[in-house]
Amino acid sequence: MTVSEQTVDLQPPTEQEVLTEITAMLAAVLEEYGLDDAEVTMESRFTEDLELESIDLVTLAGQLQDRWGDRINFAEFLAGMELDEIIGLTVGRLVRHVVDRLQSAGRS
C-alpha cells in the first residue's frame, strides 16, 4: 500500500487531542437534539449517556472518515461487536481505537 499525503500526520495525536476532536463531532450531532451542552468524557456511553440513536452513529462514522480517511472504519469496528457491546460503548473506547489506528498507520 502506498501512503498518500493526506494520511501522513507528522505526530500521531494523543488521546486528549482525539477526545477533543470527537467531542466537537458529537456536539454537531447533539446540537440537532438541542443537547449541545451535554458533557462528553472518556466514560460517556454513546447511547445510554449521550442518548444517541444508532443512526447518529452512522453520522459519526462519516465524520470520522472525513477527518482521518480510510484509516478509521467505524462500521467495521462496530461490526465485530455484539449489540449489547455497541449499546454500552464508551467514547473512551473509540478514542483509544482511533489513537491505536493512527499510531499503527504512522509506523507502516
Partner 1 sequence: MAFLDLDGLRCHVQRLGPQDGRPPAATVVLLHGLLTDSLASYYFTLAPALAAAGLDVLMYDHRGHGRTARPPAGYRLEHFVDDLEALLDRLEITGPVQLVGNSFGGTVAFGLAARRPAQVAGILAIESEPASRAWAVKLDGILRKAERHLAEEETLAWVAEQRGRHTARLARSAGALLAGTSLARDIPASLLPAEAELRAIRCPVLAVYGTESDLAPQAAWLDGLLADCRSTFVPGQEHSVLIEAPETVRALTLSWLREHGARLRGGAARREVERSVR
Residue 54 vs 104, nearer CB to partner 1: 54
| Number of helices and strands in the chain (H, E) | 5, 0
Q: Which three cell numbers stand for residue 12?
A: 500521531
**Nearer of residues 36 and 66 to partner 1, judged by Cβ:** 66
Buried/exposed code over 26-54 (b: 16+ C-beta within 10 A; e: otherwise): beebbeeeeeeebebeeebbbeeebebee
Residue with cell 442518548: 51
- Per CB under 8 A, 90 contacts partner 1: no
Per-residue contact flags (x/-) with partner 1 for residues 45 to 84, judged by CB under 8 A: --xx--x-xxx-xxx-xx-------x--x-xx-xx---x-
Residues in 28-47 that interact with partner 1 by CB under 8 A: 47
Interaction site with partner 1 (CB under 8 A): 47-48, 51, 53-55, 57-59, 61-62, 70, 73, 75-76, 78-79, 83, 86-87
